[in-house]
A = this chain, B = another copy of it.
Amino acid sequence: MQRSECPISTTLDLVGDRWTLVILRDMLNGKTRYAQFLDSPERITTNVLAVRLKQMEADGLILKTPYQLKPRRYEYVLTEQGRALHGVLKEMCRWANAYYPKTWTPPEDFMT
């Protein structure tokens, strides 16, 4: 649901929740599989992860492809559109690093 044609509220309609950009961060860092997302320190639940991945796919942020047939398992990769949110994440890092000094410093290659 798009609340207005404002680019900020449009972005928030898609990724304005606590989890989507955390999953996207993991994908930018090379994670592709369910178990890898579950393993992150924020401890997303399987339930929330499944709902978020489905929504991200519907929104064109990620692609889901099978990597094993029996039993069928999937991996998830960012689309160009999903990958393009990297700039938003970098700005979030700069902001949190400036105001919350205990937050981790991201790897240099994430910030360039």
Contact = CB atoms under 8 A, between A and B. Distances in A.
A87 B72 CA distance: 42
A11 B97 CA distance: 10
Interface residues of A, number: 43
Give the most central of A21, A87, A88, A106: most B CB within 10 Å.
Answer: A88
Given A87-B95, A94-B87, A95-B85, A6 B25 contact: yes
Interface string A67-105: 000000000000001001101111111111111101110
Contacts of A100: 7, 10
Interface of A: 3-13, 16-19, 21-22, 25, 40-43, 81, 84-85, 87-100, 102-104, 106
